[in-house]
Every structure is written in structure tokens, then in C-alpha cells.
Structure 1
Amino acid sequence: MSGASIQAALARAAEAVAKGPHSTPADGRPRKRRLAMGDPQADLDRVLAILAHHGLLGDDGWLKPDVQLVSVGDHFDWGKPHEREAVATSGLRLVAWLAAHPADQAVMLLGNHDLGRVGELAGFTDATFAAAQAEADRAYQGGDTDEAAERAFLARWPNVPTAELVARDFGNFREVQRAWVEHLLRVKRFRVAHVAGPGLMVLHAGVTHEDLDVAGLPPARRSDAGAVAQALNAALDVAVAAWREGPLVLPGLHRPGDAAGGEGVGIFYQRPSLKPEDAERVRGTPRRRFDPRRLPAGLTQVVGHTRDKRIRELLGLGPAGAKDGVVRHLVTDGTRVDYDHGAPPPPKPNEAVVVFTDGGMRECPPEAFELFDLDTRAAAR
């Protein structure tokens, strides 16, 4: 692991932020190593340490020329209240550093935390967010919410769904982050999905038949990664082109939260669940849960968004054996659902596959965090 390359990358990131919102166009160079990185919700030096451990960073502080990195989304929000300022700066520097690479080298996918800047937080300035957060901190403490205090909070701040969202979930917001996210949406640098190979697609949280019904993709084309990604990205482009102010909405696919409608829902929030109490929540879309048996057969989706412990809970497996840092997989034939650590076996034509890459980046040593190799379809070595 090269400390010099990490320090150089930190300098390049600070320079990219100082330049203001921008995006470097694709350069068309071939990339010999193509890897997907789970949710980078960690300090920038840790993200860079992971990349350096895998031999992806050059001495100049950029990704090596033959490397393509696909970031699966959620570039903001982590840490404790006393870390907020540092974390806000770190997340912005990561986004700026990625955007300064050619668009076909550093592929930037949207997560719910990225969209929160132009969704739930669309109407905030730094000053109004600071005022709202001070009030949210009083209503949400130690993992518990004071219901009376939250009612008063939402009466004053109706564009957010809970005090917890402002105190914790989207707690590192700054206006400059929104400026970057909006720019990267307008220039089509932030994408919903990325085609990585035949039947192989990368996105933040996964899609099912219900979501692809909304996107207008015929069932016969749902094993075609290119067709699925094109439909999802087209839905984003239409929404962004029509968006002038207020929260960005993708009709039927993504709705930000607010006090009237509750938490945000849709394809950037949803997680697979087999819990009996979620039986109604998995129907239709947009939603926060989906039935994994409704995943389209013939398609492998590489996603982030959900760590091992949470997936085990939602699939009714219990917490035993949960581990951070590792690639995991889910395979279903529409009836059975199998889940385990490691890369998936070669899928059969009637099977749908999800590869999970969110390994809790802050919770494990950099050398233990696995990236997913899009060429070998296994954990990177």
C-alpha cells in the first residue's frame, strides 16, 4: 500500500473541489481492470487506502490508466455528530475526485444519499439546515425520537419526513454538495445503472419486474442488461430535463420523503425482504422493500445499499455469521432464495442473481474490504 499515492490523491481531491463542479469527459481508453466498489460511506483516506491496497492508485494520485472503477452510490453521510464538518468535506472531495477522472474510467452511480441532496434537502440553505439540525438533535437522541418534539419539528420543516433524517441519515449536508450533485445530474455523469457485461449490470439497490413495468421495458428484454440500464437511465434523464426546482422525482421509481408522505421510497431505497410482516410492503412500487423472487431471471445485478447483517434479518436468516467487508450473493429461481458469502455460482437461465458489495467500509480494515471484479465476476484479488 503506497502512502505517497494516497497523499497525492488527497491533494488531487482538494484541487478538484477548489475548481468547482465539473466533470471530465470519457476518453475511450481500454481498461484492463474493471471493479465495482460498494457504498463509499467512509473517510476519503480510507476509501483511497482500499483502492491502494488493490493496486488501483497511481503515484500521481489518480486511478491507474488501465483501471475502471464503478462506485455504486452513497458518497455522503456517516459518522458521529462531532464529525459532521470533516465528513461533509470528505464526501465532497470523494465526489469531486471521481468526477475529475474520465467519465468512462470512474463511473458514478446514484444512491439515496446522493439524491437526498436534491430531494429531501432541496430547499435548505446551510443556515436553515443548521437551524433544522439543531432542533432535530434535540428530538432525536441516542437512537430514540421524542414524538412530541418531532411533531413540532415537522410542523416547522415539512419537507423532511423525520427528525432522524436531519440528525443522522442525511446529517452531513452542505449546499456545495447539492451544487455538485445537480451539475453531475445535468451533464449525465451521475447514472442510475451501468452495463458491465452480458447480463451484468451495476446499480445502487436493485430492481424487480414491478420497477421495470414502470420503466416501460417489455418482459422479454429484462435479461438484457443494456436494455434495463438504458430504460432506467432514460427515466432519470427525462426527470432531470423536466426538473426546475424543488425535489427531484422519478415518477413511479423514486419519491423523496417528506412529512406528509413519510420516508423516501423507490429503487434507490429498496431492499429484498422475505419477512412475513413485509408481505404488503413489497407489492407495487415505489417502495422500501421488494420480494427477491420478483427479480428478472437471466440478469445479475451488482448492488450496494445493504450490509450483511441487515440482509440476513430481512431474509429471516438471523445474525449468525454476519460479516463486514465481504462480497455476498443472492440467487433465486422465482421460488427458492439462496444467500451466502462470496461470488455467485454461474447462473442458470431461469435464475436471477444479486451481488451485494456494501461491506460496511467504515467497519473493517481497508485490507479486508473486497471489491467486485466485473470481469472475473468474483471478489478482486
Structure 2
Amino acid sequence: MSEAARIIQAALARAAEAAAGPPGSVPAQDGVWRRRLVIGDPQADLAQVLAILAHHGLLAADGLLHSDVQLISVGDHFDWGKPPERESAAASGLALVAWLAAHPANQAVMLLGNHDLGRAGELAGFTDARFAEAQAEADRIYPGGDADDAAEQAYLARWPQVPSAELVARDFGNFREVQRAWVEHLLRVRRFRVAHAAASDVLVLHAGVTREDLDVTRLPDAHRADAWRVAAALNAALDAAVAAWTRGPLRIPGLHHPGNAAQGEGTGVFYQRPSLLPEDAERVRGTPRRRFDPRRLPPGLTQVVGHTRDKRSRAMLGLSPTGARDGVLRHLVTDGTRVDYAHGAPPPPTPGAAVLVFTDGAMRECPAPDYELLDLDTRAAAIAPRPEGR
């Protein structure tokens, strides 16, 4: 067995041990980070996630991150695979969350995605038995395509807490009660965050925020290019919502509204994606929403996000799908009028420009050595070390 394989096995054992215990989180500790990296949506088997980290020399022999490595996960730790993979995928997602939480909070920074919040949102009232019942019915009426409208409406009448059969059959299809227990714990101890400021002008979060979203936080315009203040405002909104949350779906007023049969799909800053399509012109107005106009991004701020793969980004920006790739970093730059989108890290920012850096590279479909991580210090794709050393 190679050294990398031994390290991955040690990490898998660490993750299994953590997941077998009650929800927990290691508090922040003093640390000096020699490498700071962002990993896009880890919706893949834990072994694949760890193989990517091992390829970049980030794992120590004890199965944890090296003590001088900081890793920021942009969220969506659950839900991948086909129906036959549900059990293994559910266990894998839980093990990933438990493994990350076994690191100091400032070393493994855990950001929320819509799939993470779904455990405390659309799925807040489900037991394992009730979810299995709802999913069996959803599988019958949503066999991988559009459900019959009459069957869908009958389904929603029986399960009004969800917005569609598709959400139960596919989108949040790996749910287990124990996942919700972990998510709730990590919310209440403030381990799961909305956003992380990596520099004064670099904000890391799941899907990105616009001027309208920041209006909800009442952050003054003069502070909206300051990543520290933006992160603090978004995290304060989350903390206030969690403090007031006693039962039912968790809602962050104006920023995150879980979906249900009456209101439709979930909306807000964990769901939204940039779109320039004419048919989305009305959908990008106001907030919360599922689409936003990238020309409304706050100028002077670089946002590092996940949530959207290359092929979908191109489609929603009105670009040709030709050249879409898995595994690569991408960027969008706008001056409020023009929007440019391309593979790779963004060019040095210019005054007044707003930038998105996309890190969701379809992890499950991409070979581990080809999956790019963002190096926050070089602001480019991380360079894996030579085999002889980190």
C-alpha cells in the first residue's frame, strides 16, 4: 500500500470514529497556516474527497489535516449518487462532516450550502421512517424525469412540507435524522457559517451575495467591499435566526427561505445562481430568489463560491456549452455592465470590479488529481507538491 493510500485509510478511520459518536466540534485553536485552500462542493464519496486532499499533500499520517494547513469547504456536504447509492452516500456525507468538525474550527472552516441547510429546513420535520415513506412514493412518481402534474399535486397534498417530489427523490435524497442532529449542533455552536473572510477583499461562501442581499443585512454601502464586515453581517443574521429557532424549518428572514408545497422551491443566498437569461429577468428582481443578475454583485469584492458547475454556469450566462470542463476553477468579472466568464483564476482586480471565483468542479465526476483547489494566498489553482515532499 502506498503512503498516500495509508494516509487516506487513516483519515477514513478518523471519520468513521467521529461519525459514530455524538455530534461535536473542536473549538478554534492558535495556528499559523502555511497553506490556505478552498475546496468546492464536496458532494462525492469521502474517499474521493480525501484523495484530492492527499494529492495536494494536505493530510498528515494521523488522518487529519497537517497542522499548518487551513481548509475552507464551501458547503453542500450531502446528497450525491443514484438511488442504489443512497445508504453509502448518506453515511459518507455524515463522515465527512464529522471529520471536518474533528479539526479546530479555524483550521477546517465549514460553510453552509443549501443541502446542509435542507436538513434543518425542508426536512426539519421528518423522521427516518417518514422520510423513507415519502421517498418511496416520490420514487414512483419521479422516476428520473418530470413527474405527472396530477401525481405531483397529490403528492404535495400528502407531503406539504416539501416543494416537490424531485427534492425527496433526488435533490435531498440521502437524508438521515442523524445528519440533522449534526447540522443543528454545528449551527448552535456556530461552527457552520454563512461566510468566511479570507482577506479584506476576499469572501468565501456557498453561492454569492448581491447588493440586494446586503440590503437585507443593513450593512452600509461604504462597508460592502470589506469582506470582514460582509462576513460578520451575514453570520450575525444566521446566528440571530438560530437563536430564535425552536422548531420547524430554520429560516433566515430575507436571506434564506426553505421551500414547501405552498411557496415552491427554497430561495435565498444558498440557492441563487447568476443568470443573464431573458427568461430570468423577473426572477432576479428582489430577494430572496433563486437567480441573480451578476451585474448586481457588490463592486470591490471577490467572492469565492461553489454551487454551480461550468456547464450550468455557461447555460445561465447565455454562453455556448462548448469547452465546459469538470475540475477547473473559473471566474466571472463584471464592472456592472459587462460580464466576462472564463476558466482559470481571475486577473488582478481593477477598481470598481466585482469578481466571482467558482470552485464547484463536479467532484464526483472528476479524477482526483485533476480537481483544482483555490490557493487563497496566490489566488490561483493550488499546485500539488512533488511526491518527495509537501
TM-score interval, smaller chain: over 0.9
349, 359, 368: which one pairs with 1:347? 349
Output one character per residue of 1:50-91: Cα deviation in whole Å (capped at 9) or x when no partner: 000000011110001110000000000000000000000000
Q: Structure 2: how far apart are the matches of 1:135 and 1:146?
A: 13
Equivalent in 310, 322, 325 of residue 324 of structure 2 = 322
Equivalent residues in 2 for 1:30-69, closer than 5 Å: 30-69=32-71
**Letter of the structure 1 residue corresponding to residue 346 of structure 2:** P
Tell me how large the CA RMSD over aligned residues is: 0.6
TM-score (norm 2): 0.97
Matched, 1:156 2:158: yes
Question: What do residues 207-238 of structure 1 show as CA deviations (whole Å, max 9, x unaligned)?
Answer: 00000000111111100000100000000000
Q: What does residue 218 of structure 1 align with?
A: 220
Alignment of 1:158-177 (within 5 A): 158-177=160-179
Per-residue deviation at 1:18? 1.5
Q: What is the distance in 1 between the residues matched to 2:216 and 2:146?
A: 36
**Residue number in structure 2 paired with 1:380:** 382
Distance in 2 between the 1:328 and 1:292 partners?
15
Corresponding residue number in structure 2 for 1:93: 95
Q: Which amino acid aligns with 2:23?
A: P
TM-aligned CA deviation for residue 200 of structure 1: 0.4
The Cα of 1:151 is off from its aligned counterpart by 1.2
In structure 2, the residue matched to 1:182 is 184
1:28 maps to: 30
**Structure 1 letter corresponding to 2:64:** W
The answer (yes or no) to whether the contact 1:139–1:147 under 8 Å persists in 2 is: no
- Once the two structures are superposed, the pairs formed by residues 72-221 of structure 1 within 5 Å of their partners are 72-221=74-223
- SS at 2:197 equivalent: strand
Give, in whole Å, the separation in 2 of the partners of 1:240 and 1:81.
32
Taking the aligned partners of 2:144 and 2:124, their CA distance within structure 1 comes to 27
* 1:28 Cα deviation after fit: 1.4
**Deviations 1:190-219 (CA, angstroms, capped at 9, x unpaired):** 000001012001000000000000011111
Percent of aligned pairs with the same amino acid: 76
Distance 1:28 1:289 in 2: 39
d(CA) in 1 for partners of 2:167 and 2:320?
A: 27
Question: How far apart are the structure 2 equivalents of 1:28 and 1:284?
Answer: 41
State the Cα deviation string for residues 120-179 of structure 1 (Å, max 9, x = none). Answer: 000000000000000000110122212222111111100000000000000000000000
Equivalent residue in structure 2 for 1:70, among 57, 69, 72: 72
Q: Could you list the runs of 4 or more consecutive aligned residues of structure 1 that deviate by over 4 angstroms after TM superposition?
A: none
* 1:286 paired residue number: 288
C-alpha displacement at 1:380, in angstroms?
A: 0.4
- Quote the Cα distance in structure 2 between the aligned partners of 1:20 and 1:378: 38
Q: Is it true that 1:249 corresponds to 2:224 in the alignment?
A: no
- Equivalent AA in structure 2 for residue 62 of structure 1: L
| Cα displacement (A) at 1:258 | 0.1
1:231-250 Cα offsets, whole Å, 9 max, x none, are: 00000000000000000000
The residue aligned with 2:360 is 358
For the residues of structure 2 that align with 1:156 and 1:28, how far apart are their CA atoms? 51
Q: Distance in 2 between matches of 1:18 and 1:254?
A: 31
**TM-score, normalised on structure 1?**
0.99
Per mean C-alpha deviation after superposition, the further-off stretch among 26-35 and 181-190 is 26-35
Amino acid at match of 2:52: I
